[in-house]
Amino acid sequence: MAKRIGIEVSIALAEAVKLANVDVIAAYPITPQTHIVEHLSEVVADGEVDAEFVPVESEHGAMSCCCGSSAAGARTFTSTSSQGLLLMSEILFIPGPMRLPIVMAVVDRALSAPISIWNDHQDIMSQRDVGWIQTFAENGQEAFDLTLHAFRVAEDRRVSLPMMVNIDGFTLSHVVEAVELLSQEEVDQYLPPFKPRYRLDPRKPITMGPVGIPEVYSEAKVAHNEALKASKKVILQGWKEFADLFGRQYNPVETYRSEDAEVLLVTMGSISETAMTAIDTMREKGQKAGLVRIRLWRPFPGPEFRKAAGKAKVLAVVDRCLPPGSTCGPVGAELRSLFYKVPGSPKIFNFVAGLGGRDVTVEWFEEMVEKATAFAKRRPKELYEVIGVREK
């Protein structure tokens, strides 16, 4: 087993792509994704991996190029952020139903206007329904491990779906963390070569992406949805084998001091580490607070989440996205839907925090837990509250 080294998380993630022996990388630069693609173009230039780096003219071109590359049978990677993800949006919906297992690292960043290069989840939440498997990493080790897991799951013939790994911009992508990189032999043990069931080949011509007339369109959409739901089995299997080989076990949702908790914070991504510190502080004060962190966002792990929530009376759900004019944030809405009319389900309160790179502090998590506890007794006017906004 390789030793732990201090490494920037973007570089660690790019190293995972290199170790996956990627064939084609098509990418367009956007802050804060740049370090990933810069490192990949370096390792290609130095011959550390035998791959084609296609420096495309836009993110839309990147995803289009990835579709072609994957359809031709190549292991394919790209990465983007924010406005770039939105420019890709039209094409993001296409590899899912076409069953093209592209892997993408999304370095989450706020959306314009006003323009902001800093972190939140508005970019990815706007693309929630693109039909990709979506995971969220909490730290550098996860960013590395989940990237390898993504290739393994996406390309599994039972899955054949595109998959994205989300890492928070700057607060995760640009920090140096202790990460245990795997060796090439170890990665090869875990990740078999990509053997697509279908690919563009003149020896065996196929038509990919034909017109879906009304008689077949619904069936095609349902087939994709079923495949996405069924992918969970392979996702779990991929994590189990990862644990068997390397000792790190991942689950669709993780819990922290949740067993006897009355109030549970629900988070995604890197703020979970601050949330854990807040839980420790609250526990010291005698508050029965715990944490549930969602790692697998799509397909949503409903049963696992219900189990993780246990007997908690209140969920304080943190969204890093403010959907204007909506009843609440996307994670809040997902969980309200999950627990709707389920007997004994917890009361759910939704907080929007950390937009455009605003730090979410330990104190704010404490405030959320306090407010959620109070709301459980007296119903608030709004279904969500934005935390940490100056009023003057």
Partner 1 sequence: MISEFEKFKRFKAKNLPRKEMLAPGHRACQGCGEVLALRMAMKALGENVIVCMATGCMEIITTPYPQTAWKVPWIHIAFENPASVASGIESALKVLRRKGRVPKKHIDILAIGGDGSTSDIGIGWISGALERGHDFTYICLDNEAYMNTGVQRSSCTPYGAMTTTSPPGEKSFGQVTWKKNVPGIAVAHNIPYVATASPAYFLDLMNKVKKAALVKGPAYIHIYSPCPTGWGSAPERSIEFAKLVVETRIFPLYEVIEGRYIMSRKITKPKPVQEYLKGQRRFRHLDEEHISYIQQRVNADYEKLIRLSEMT
Residues lying near partner 1 in the complex (CB under 8 A) are found at 23-24, 26, 50-52, 54-58, 60-61, 64-74, 76, 90-91, 94, 98, 193, 200-202, 204-213, 216
Task: For partner 1, give the closer residue by CB, 25 or 148.
Answer: 25
Residue 30: CB minimum distance to partner 1, A: 16
Q: Which tokens in the block code for residue 341?
A: 């009319």
Q: 74 or 316, CB closer to partner 1? A: 74
Which residues, 6+ apart, have CB-to-CB distance to 383 below 8 Å? 327, 328, 332, 336, 349, 350
Q: Is 241 helix (H, G, I), strand (E, B) or coil?
A: helix
Q: How far apart are CA 159 and CA 143, in angstroms?
A: 21
Asked whether the bond before 303 is cis by omega within 30 degrees of 0, the reply is no
| Distance between first and last Cα of the chain | 54
Burial 193-220 (b: 16+ CB within 10 A, else e): ebebeebeeeeeeeeeeeeeeeeeeeee
Closest approach of partner 1 to the CB of residue 167, in Å: 24
The distance of closest approach from Cβ of residue 68 to partner 1 in the complex, given in angstroms and rounded to an integer, is 3
Q: How far is the CB of 238 from partner 1 (least distance, A)?
A: 23
Task: Kindly tell me which of 55 and 192 has the beta carbon lying closer to partner 1.
Answer: 55
Question: Of 209 and 303, which has the nearer Cβ to partner 1?
Answer: 209
Q: Quote the least distance from Cβ 76 to partner 1, whole Å.
A: 8
> Smallest gap, in angstroms, from Cβ of residue 88 to partner 1?
11
Between 93 and 375, whose beta carbon lies closer to partner 1?
A: 93
Query: Which one, 202 or 343, has the nearer CB to partner 1?
Result: 202
345 burial (CB, 10 Å; 0-12 / 13-18 / 19+) is: middle
Closest to partner 1 by CB, 14 vs 56, is 56
| Residue 39 Cβ vs partner 1, minimum distance, rounded to whole Å | 18
80 beta partners: 106
Give me the least distance between CB of 158 and partner 1, in Å please: 21
* DSSP label of 355: G
Q: Which amino acid is at 265?
A: L
Token pair recorded at residue 248: 């790190």
> Position 355: which residue type?
L
Please identify, using beta-carbon distances, which residue of 1 and 216 lies nearer to partner 1. 216
Residues in the chain: 392
For residue 316, list its beta bridge partners: 265, 349
